[in-house]
Amino acid sequence: MKTSPDTHIPLEGYAPGDQDEMLIRAQAFHNSMRTRRSVRHFSSRTVYSDVIENCVATAGLAPSGANHQPWFFACVKAAEKKRQIREAAEAEERAFYEGKAGEEWLDALAPIGTDADKPYMETAPWLICIFAQRRGGAEAGEDRKNYYIHESVGIATGLLIAACHQAGLATLVHTPNPMNFLNEICGRPKTEKPYLILVVGYPAGDAVVPKHALKRKAIADILKIM
Ligand code: IYR
């Protein structure tokens, strides 16, 4: 590893703490994330742009290939644009549920109870359309090749979901396939690949979630210490 005072600076922002304190914090964060659910019933209550902007700013702190930050978050609140996105998404979902999905996939989705109707895409105050940039660079306006875009944007999306949850906002990951219509509606270039739509807002007062979503694998089934 090559470092020099010209290219590197001392690390900041990590206050060394004792591990009892670490454990308490890790448990507290785990406990707060335990209540996160994918929500499909939203209130139409407004959420200020500032809240969304701060959550997206957190997403923008994710690690990325060569630090090119290959993401773009088109945050849609305009009713007409939400309507267009819903309409295009539902057209893809109809094709999916009417045959494209196949039996095994539909069988896996049955306990969730989803279908092609996505009214919450208009009810919710925000649709965050996330794009992966095939070209860009570490500085805005550059036109270099980007690397590991799916990994990078996936990590950023995880931070965004955690930031929304931490703020008290409900979210839903939505991925109609294909979703190239998003480039046109959001005015994004063809070099950007639509990655997913995050529906964001207050949950409806009478929101329900599938029991299926409460199943969590035991830690022993997802972790091995070697
Ligand atoms: N995109 C469809 C189907 C769907 C697929 C998976 I995998 C899910 O976990 C949930 C839904 C829809 O949104 O209905």
Cβ atoms within 10 A of the Cβ of 183, count? 18
Per-residue pLDDT at 110: 97
Eight-class DSSP state of 213: G
pTM of the model: 0.97
Eight-class DSSP state of 211: G
Picking from 170, 197, 167, the residue whose alpha carbon sits closest to that of residue 51 is: 167
Tens digit of pLDDT for each residue in 21-77? 999 999 999 999 999 999 999 999 999 999 999 999 999 999 999 999 999 999 999
According to DSSP, the β-strands at 135-136 and 126-133 are: unpaired
Report whether residue 177 contacts ligand 1, using a CB cutoff of 6 Å. Answer: no
Q: Report which protein residue has its CA nearest ligand 1's atom 9.
A: 109
Cβ atoms within 10 A of the Cβ of 54, count? 12
Cβ atoms within 10 A of the Cβ of 132, count? 24
Number of domains in the chain: 1
Radius of gyration of the chain (CA): 20
Per-residue pLDDT at 68: 98
Tens digit of pLDDT for each residue in 187-201? 999 999 999 999 999
User: 184 CA to middle of ligand 1, Å?
Assistant: 23
* Rounded Cα–Cα distance for residues 115 and 109 (Å): 9
Domain contains 78: yes
Domain contains 74: yes
Q: Which two tokens stand for residue 58?
A: 């957190």
Mean local confidence (pLDDT), 164-186: 97
Per-residue pLDDT at 17: 84
Confidence band for 16, pLDDT divided at 50, 70 and 90: confident
| Residue labelled with tokens 């995880």 | 158
Mean local confidence (pLDDT), 104-114: 97
| Residue labelled with tokens 């406990």 | 31
Confidence band for 101, pLDDT divided at 50, 70 and 90: very high
CATH number at residue 123: 3.40.109.10
Report whether residue 109 contacts ligand 1, using a CB cutoff of 6 Å. Answer: yes
Domain contains 85: yes
Tens digit of pLDDT for each residue in 207-226? 999 999 999 999 999 999 99
Per-residue pLDDT at 102: 96
Query: 137: alpha, beta or left, given left = phi > 0 and alpha = psi -120 to 50?
Result: left
Per cent of the chain over pLDDT 70 is 100
Domain contains 64: yes
Q: What is the mean pLDDT of the chain?
A: 97
Q: Note down the domain range covering 106.
A: 38-203
3-state SS, residue 185: helix
Domain contains 52: yes
Q: Is the pLDDT of residue 15 over 90?
A: no
Q: Is the pLDDT of residue 104 over 90?
A: yes
Domain contains 7: no
Which helix (H) or strand (E) segment holds residue 159: the answer is helix 149-167
Domain contains 124: yes
User: 141 CA to middle of ligand 1, Å?
Assistant: 35
Domain contains 224: no
